[in-house]
Chain A
Amino acid sequence: MAPVLEVSGLNTVFHTRRGLVRAVQDVSFSVEAGETLAIVGESGCGKTITALSLMRLIPQPPGEIVSGSVKVDGTDLLRLDDRTMRQMRGGKIAMIFQEPMTALNPLMTVGKQIAEMVMLHDGLPKAAAKNRAVEMLQMVRIPEPARRAKEYPHQMSGGMRQRAMIAMALACKPKVLVADEPTTALDVTIQAQILDLIGDLQREFGTAVLLITHDLGVVAETAQRVVVMYAGRKVEEGSVSDLFARPLHPYLRGLLGSIPRLGSARGLALSPDERLREIPGMVPALSDLPPGCAFAPRCAQADAKCHAQIPPFEAKQANHFAACWQA
């Protein structure tokens, strides 16, 4: 099956007073219909800039997408004029954010916002659009959807707002859903509800989901494939089972070793007297990257070559890729 979303050779930079910052370097990946690809990494790794680049929501200037292509169903979004791109956004590719208030208009009722979307994209008349809005709210399991449609975002709880934003994003049945930390601001019981919801809707509509997150637990429970980013580059990619069972890059191995796990009380994880494995140091500033592998200064296995040359991103095993001289 041909992928619905195909990103290749994406490079996004920011022109700052301190010089050129390469936020995304040579990032490629694809997502099929009904599939979830997770991009994981810590703050500053470029995962959110990647997502915003796909949506062409990078503020220009200071940002600039310097090269690459972002194909949705074969159409390269980076070559579209602004008007066509606006139709793609929300129509073919939609995005949900960590903080729903960044996407919802505080001065408009939730129902009206969704109705406006479907009027614009699907050309529905007003009454039909209103009905669609209520239907969507029901679909995201908001109780009493007809009443809730008349509410403003501030009248809703955080979890409810997240549902409303998902309803809006999916109202025009986009092919691709970009979800940037969609549950990070939510409580754990609400997070579980929202992740279930996204999964159910994805199965129903066959949506390709690009999930941006820092939470390895969320990745393990929702994604089929994973891209790990560090300092603007891909450092590892593969199926979720391969990555968690046989992580290749020392960064991913370090991350998996550093998180405390539920289950130590039952002897399933390391005992509480054991120290967590630390990754020494911190993420380098993108404006001041080392010449070789960006992870080398924190890596126990790094040798002279690692400090001097950027490792190529290549297949190390079947369908399992990494950028590491040592792996």
Chain B
Amino acid sequence: MDKPPVIAVAGLRKFFPIRRGLLNRRVGDVRAVDGVSFSIAGGETLGLVGESGCGKSTVGRAVLRLIEPSAGTIAINGKDITTASKQEMRALRRQMQIVFQDPFSSLNPRIKAGDIVGEPLKVHGVGRRDEREARVAQLFERVGLRAAQMNNYPHQFSGGQRQRVSIARALALDPGFIVADEPVSALDVSIQAQVINLLMDLQRERGLSYLFISHNLAVVEHIAHRVAVMYLGRIVEYADKVALFAKPLHPYTEALLAAVPLPDPALKRVKHRVEGDVPSPIDPPSGCHFHPRCPYAEARCRSEAPVLRDVGAGRLVACHLR
């Protein structure tokens, strides 16, 4: 048997209760994540894509147990962490970290950047004070900041530099797995490339595994090895990157790819647009969640939810018609 995947998630669900009335009764659920399974090998990047409200960020937080999953199992390096106690989780967090989208709200404005990056080391009691400082200085240099900037406060950094601070903090404990939740979406175009290159270099050096959450398909195509497409809490397509982008099978994936504006005026594409908005996850459509917007939908799609099934070569699609 090969090494177990760095992270394996099975049947992950996260429902948020909707409470109403005087007695605060539970009248329903927002099914933010509704049965999601995937695994990521060492040194691999899984791209998790979808539009706002599809549950991709909830997945990112639930697999780290930053929010408690409603159901499902999560295993890190073969060890089930779904029921790990708070204390056990604290130790496990050394192996898994997160980088958030907004480097303006995810860094404490009152703490010096060097202390932000050194805090995980302190919390986990790694090394003496001077050793920790040397390690932080190393991390600063590695992510492309100067060690002298350790004394600066977050507001003294630009957006791209703040994201570098976030990445340095995530790397401090030498984790094997990092959730990157829209890490470049708030950055200017010319800065995005710097951060993407940094993430890919770090992966090569350290054999990191990423769950890379993004709505930007071009970025995902560049950075990911495999891709999972989510729609209203479920994975609708899960495939090798090359296969997925070369020929999307799920009508939603197809629609997403067709909607991305391409930076090449010479390409005149046939526009096939999906109509309508993403429905509310409080009251998702029956059957296949995508059927009201799907140009190919048949009677069966309205009544019966398609299962995510293998269509060959490890490619999974949840569609009755493909």
Contacts and interface: CB of A to CB of B under 8 A. Distances in A.
Interface of A: 42-43, 157-160, 187-193, 195-196, 214-222, 240-241, 244-245, 254-256, 258-266, 272, 275-280, 282-283
B241 A265 contact: yes
Interface of B: 51-52, 158, 160-161, 188-194, 196-197, 200, 215, 217-219, 221-223, 241-246, 255-267, 271, 273-275, 277-278
Main secondary structure, interface of B, reads helix
Nearest to B259: A192
Given A196-B273, A278-B193, A278-B194, A43 B260 contact: no
Contact of A260 (B191, B222, B242, B266): B222
B127 to A, nearest CB: 33
A276 B51 contact: no
A279 B245 CA distance: 27
Given A191-B261, A266-B246, A276-B196, 18 more contacts: A160-B277, A192-B258, A192-B273, A196-B273, A217-B260, A217-B262, A219-B263, A220-B262, A221-B261, A221-B265, A244-B265, A259-B218, A260-B196, A260-B219, A260-B222, A265-B246, A278-B190, A278-B194
A282 B191 contact: yes
A244 B265 CA distance: 7
Contact of B221 (A262, A275, A279): A262
19 contacts: A42-B190, A43-B188, A157-B278, A160-B277, A192-B259, A192-B261, A192-B271, A193-B273, A195-B261, A216-B263, A217-B261, A221-B262, A255-B190, A262-B257, A265-B221, A265-B245, A276-B193, A278-B193, A279-B194
Contacts of A157: 277-278
Contacts of B274: 189
Contact of A187 (B215, B218, B223, B261): B215
A279 B222 contact: no
A255 B246 contact: no
A262 B245 CA distance: 8
B221 A241 contact: no
A222 B263 CA distance: 11
B221 A264 contact: yes
Nearest to B161: A282
A188 B256 contact: yes
A159 B241 CA distance: 29
A123 B278 CA distance: 38
Contacts of A159: 277
Contacts of B267: 220
A282 B262 contact: no
B160 A278 contact: no
Contact of A191 (B160, B190, B259): B259
Nearest to B243: A265
Contacts of B258: 192
Contacts of B193: 258-260, 276-279
Given A217-B262, A275-B200, A189 B189 contact: no
B277 A220 contact: no
A172 B217 CA distance: 37
Nearest to A213: B261
B189 A258 contact: yes
Contacts of B222: 260, 264, 272, 276
Most buried by A among B190, B217, B262, B264: B190
A188 B216 CA distance: 9
B217 A188 contact: yes
Given A240-B265, A258-B193, A276-B197, A188 B259 contact: yes
Given A159-B277, A189-B255, A254-B190, A265 B263 contact: no
Given A42-B188, A188-B256, A265-B244, A259 B263 contact: yes
A266 B215 CA distance: 20
